[in-house]
Amino acid sequence: MSYNIFSFGDTYWQQLKGTAMGTPAAPLYSILTYGYFENTRILNTYHSNLIFYKRYIDDIFGIWVDSPETTWEDFKQTLDQFGQLRWNLEDRTTSTNFLDLNINIIQDQIQTKTFQKELNLYLYIPPTSAHPSSCFKGLITGELIRYWAQNTQEKDFIHITQLFIQRLTQRGHRIEDLIPILRSVAANIDNTQGDRRLLEQKVNPDDTIYLHWRFHPLDIKKSVIHDIYNDTLKGHDNFQKMQIAMARPPNLRDILCRSNIPNLPGINTSDILASINTDSR
């Protein structure tokens, strides 16, 4: 973390303060370093006040109870005693939004419902996209399971589901194609008898052979591949089943969105920086 060196044009730079943003190590680095401060300073000092405390990278949610020894103002000051990090804290309240949840205390009970930002564009995968059909089914299944787990009141679950279906149709999905998937998810939720969690199918990797296959809309279907396997190899390869892992083909984003900036002929970054420094003097 002390030698983050990067290039910009024909110049090279070393970062002297902070952590490189966008790198895989940055979130883990921040979680671990502030986590040590949490365990040694925050949770030890305010354990009698914080009856619930959870943090996701830079978002904190907690339930606070006053005590004569420590105050809310003390807690806020302690949070900002770690390096140059400064937190923006909401006033204590019985209703708040945390990540994708709206959390309320109603009659001494915690109730939740799905929270969505006003600027959310809901750019779900359109039906014309070259994605495997399992992606569309997985999208709908995953969202409905999440809505069911997040909404305490059934009316809130129904409302957010109606909005979800409306947004899918606005993206080009046909309601007649959505109905079978919606009914299948609803049946699975009913089978859990209110547990709000779907049972995951356990797959033994030692009994499964995996086939990595790049998807194309006009290519051979997964069901045909499974039939060929069952008719030829199954029972002779020491595996009980075959799992097909579908990968998407390269798209326009892979081609157009590059992370490097090409150098323009006859223009060097170092010359531009030198002229800026000269003008500033």
Under 8 Å between Cβ of 269 and 10:
yes
Q: What is the mean pLDDT of residues 34-41?
A: 92
Whole-number pLDDT of residue 83: 83
Greater model confidence, 199 or 156: 156
Tokens of residue 127, six digits: 């039906």
**Is the pLDDT reported for residue 198 higher than 60?**
no
Whole-number pLDDT of residue 145: 92
Provide the greatest CA pair distance for the chain: 80
> What are the two backbone dihedrals, phi and then psi, of residue 150, each rounded to the nearest 5 degrees?
-85, -25
**Is the pLDDT reported for residue 200 higher than 70?**
no
- What DSSP letter does each residue of 174-230 carry, written as one string? -HHHHHHHHHHHHHHHHHTTT---PPPPP--GGGEEEEEEE--TTS--HHHHHHHHH
Residue extents of the structural domains in the chain: 25-92, 119-200, 205-255
Query: Which CA distances in Å does 149 have to 131, 165, 203?
Result: 27, 18, 24
Name the residue among 148, 153, 152 with its Cα closest to residue 164: 148
At 201, is the pLDDT very low, low, confident or very high (cuts 50, 70, 90)? low
202-261 pLDDT, tens digit each: 556 678 888 988 888 888 888 899 899 999 988 888 888 888 888 877 777 777 766 666
123-153 pLDDT, tens digit each: 998 998 888 888 888 899 999 999 999 999 9
At 174, is the pLDDT very low, low, confident or very high (cuts 50, 70, 90)? very high
Across 43-47, 99-103, 109-113, 240-244, least confident range: 240-244
Whole-number pLDDT of residue 49: 93
Whole-number pLDDT of residue 199: 44
Whole-number pLDDT of residue 281: 59
Q: Give percent of the chain with pLDDT exceeding 70.
A: 91
Determine the Cα–Cα distance for residues 32 and 45; give it in Å rounded to an integer: 19
Q: What is the mean pLDDT of residues 53-80?
A: 91
* pTM exceeds 0.85 for this model: no
Residue ranges in the chain assigned as alpha helix (H): 25-37, 43-45, 72-79, 133-150, 154-170, 175-191, 222-232, 252-256, 269-280
